[in-house]
Structure 1
Amino acid sequence: MTTLGTASAAPGEMDTGRLEVGEARDGTTVALPCAVINGAFDGQTLYMQAASDGDELNGVGVVSRVVPQLDPTELTGTVLVVGIVNYHAFQVAEHRNPIDDTKMNRAYPGDDNGTSSERIAAATFDAATRADVILDLHQGSTSRMIDEVRVRCGRRHRLHDECLQLAKTFGCGYVLDQKGPEGQLARAGPDEGIPTIDPELGGCVGWDEVSIQAGVDGVFNVLREYGFLSGSASPERQTRAKGFDQYGSPAGGLVRFEADLGERVGAGDLLFEITDPFGELKARVTANNSGVFWRTRRLPQVATGEYVCSVGTNVDTY
């Protein structure tokens, strides 16, 4: 019998339940939706979670499509799922936990006696570290971004190659291989000896079916390649960036992009222009280095110095 919170499943069975993480302001229990899919055959364990940031909903879309397709009688090993991590932020469609104004993916490995976010991180980290593979489903918040997978442990980490191979297997087409900030699950997991990746499934308000499908395909690629399901993923070559150039606006006004997401750009290529409300040109910004046009703001209006876009740099394929 395998349990996660109140979900409990014997071999060849599946169950859903709730993982308790504390109490709300009215004293009612706060518990995260979770699932156990316990395969009929012994094998490894995969842990998957979504909505660590409360407005990043594409991962929830992936979970809601993947779980109904998993037949425990055909599964080797176990899949553990927490469908919504940042409970309080999800309720109000905000990025950060409004109870403690914390970005959840900076709170790992958490603290059982800490803040709201630290307690949620501790409970989900306890579940994650029962696994052999960890998938932490994200998106680029509400900005516009390509589908990519992030390897956050750092290229000198002892588990870097395993994490990079997991990212390649997921197979979104693009990988950011750059050490992440402290407190990310994709950093804390490898420190415990578990290959962990952070798929960033596009960026949107609400959810995007194309990015959700890329996430569904990625999860099944991992399930097949790592022996949970029959078949293999046959991972294709991925475009990898090892860094970012981020660009702010040199003037206030309206952004007009001259490059498309996923487009290769060279040093000196025009990325965007800034105009006034009447179309008068105020500034032109070009790329400092060659790379891939990776991410942009969603709204066209900007103030001086405000974030506009990012270019993935130091690009190769593997």
Structure 2
Amino acid sequence: MTISLGTASAAPGESAIGRLDIGETRDGSSVGLPVAVINGVDDGKRLYLQAVSDGDELNGLGVIRRVVPQLDPARLSGAILVVGIVNYHGFQVAEHRNPIDDRKLNRTFPGDHTGSSSERISAAVFDAAKTADLILDLHQGSTSRMIDEVRVRCGRRHSLHSECLQLAKVFDCGYVLDQKGPEGQLARVAPDEGIPTVDPELGGAVGFGEESIQRGVEGVFNVLRHYGFLDGEVSTSRQTRAKRFDQFGAPVGGIVDYRADLGARVSAGEPLFEITDAFGQSKATVEADNDGIFWRSRRLPQVAAGEYVCSVGTNVDSY
């Protein structure tokens, strides 16, 4: 069966690239997202893969640039649908949100074909995503510093929770955040359509982060092998899972010095960071509220009072 996504159309054993129409810009010219279809020579499952729904999160695009050229439809069972850049407008100006409607695009799923710019984009890509058996929505921790992790966003009482958790384990980043996500996230909405979906958060970088991209490439190929798209066995490892976050802001303004490294185990009462003035004089020290893992931190050292500094993953176990 020939499979199409926008202008990309591929018969069994073929691949194609094209554009998916999402409307018009302010000068009336049409806009299309870059898309690809890899249609395997044999029948099988369908994977939907997307990146850059947040316009400054580029590691997912780095993964797609490496994965797609390696996919030979003559050796593939099933099909893979790819949207390389979802937040077209944010990507053009390297901004997290869609500057046309000032919305975070990954809060607008399932979208609306007659709604705002972000809602129209979400509706267009969700039409393709709904045809899949599995969904990978590639992200990163914006431009913050963050460990590589996979997020399961459907909620632990959802009927597809175990399948989403298994998909996260197969991706094999080593860390999983298992916490119900905000309304409008693809990884929360798609399971309601019966599709196991996860949100790999591949580190945090300005531009590309090489180690995180490579981990994402390996994760995608793990999924392709485990679910029968490609030949080969996958040995999944135990994942460290956090079920919630403690987030910490700056009690005073100044310069941040961290007392914990990314991925480190921290104990309740252990110092996480110190804030000094411009002359190195200590103004405040912030300690962990609970045992957990030092998960994420801001990149720039200067903070104002009340500004976000870091997060600790808590309620930690393994599976």
TM-score (norm 1): 1.00
Q: Which residue of 1 aligns with 2:156?
A: 155
Q: Which residue of 2 aligns with 1:7?
A: 8
For residues 81-123 of structure 1, the C-alpha deviation after alignment (integer angstroms, 9 at most, x for no partner) is: 0000000000000000000000000000000000000000000
Provide the rounded CA distance (Å) in 2 between the counterparts of 1:136 and 1:56.
12
Partner AA of 2:64 in structure 1: V
What is the correspondence of 1:43-58 to structure 2 with a 5 Å cutoff?
43-58=44-59
For residues 148-194 of structure 1, the C-alpha deviation after alignment (integer angstroms, 9 at most, x for no partner) is: 00000000000000000000000000000000000000011100000
Q: Which residue of 1 aligns with 2:43?
A: 42
Tell me the SS of whatever aligns to 1:154.
Answer: coil
Tell me the SS of whatever aligns to 1:49.
Answer: strand
Provide the rounded CA distance (Å) in 2 between the counterparts of 1:245 and 1:95.
23
Provide the rounded CA distance (Å) in 1 between the counterparts of 2:163 and 2:254.
45
Q: Does 1:200 align with 2:201?
A: yes
Which blocks of at least 5 consecutive residues in structure 1 are unaligned? none
The CA RMSD over aligned residues, in Å, is 0.4
Provide the rounded CA distance (Å) in 2 between the counterparts of 1:158 and 1:68.
35
For residues 270-308 of structure 1, the C-alpha deviation after alignment (integer angstroms, 9 at most, x for no partner) is: 100000000000001110000000000000000111100
Provide the rounded CA distance (Å) in 2 between the counterparts of 1:303 and 1:36.
47
Tell me the SS of whatever aligns to 1:191.
Answer: helix
Q: Does 1:170 align with 2:176?
A: no
Q: Does 1:146 align with 2:147?
A: yes
For residues 212-245 of structure 1, the C-alpha deviation after alignment (integer angstroms, 9 at most, x for no partner) is: 0010000000000000000122110000000000
Tell me the SS of whatever aligns to 2:216.
Answer: helix
Partner AA of 1:26 in structure 2: D
Partner AA of 1:263 in structure 2: A
Q: Does 1:94 align with 2:95?
A: yes
Q: Which residue of 1 aligns with 2:241?
A: 240
Of 228-237 and 34-43, the range deviating more from structure 2: 228-237
User: Displacement of 1:5 after TM fit?
Assistant: 0.3
User: Displacement of 1:46 after TM fit?
Assistant: 0.2
Q: Does 1:64 align with 2:77?
A: no
User: Displacement of 1:264 after TM fit?
Assistant: 0.3
| Structure 1 residue runs of 4 or more that deviate by more than 2 Å after TM superposition | none
Provide the rounded CA distance (Å) in 1 between the counterparts of 2:122 and 2:234.
31
Q: Which residue of 2 aligns with 1:116?
A: 117
Provide the rounded CA distance (Å) in 2 between the counterparts of 1:180 and 1:187.
6
Task: State the percentage of identical aligned residues.
Answer: 74
TM-score (norm 2): 0.99
Provide the rounded CA distance (Å) in 2 between the counterparts of 1:12 and 1:244.
45
Tell me the SS of whatever aligns to 2:4.
Answer: strand
Aligned residues: 318
Provide the rounded CA distance (Å) in 2 between the counterparts of 1:89 and 1:306.
24
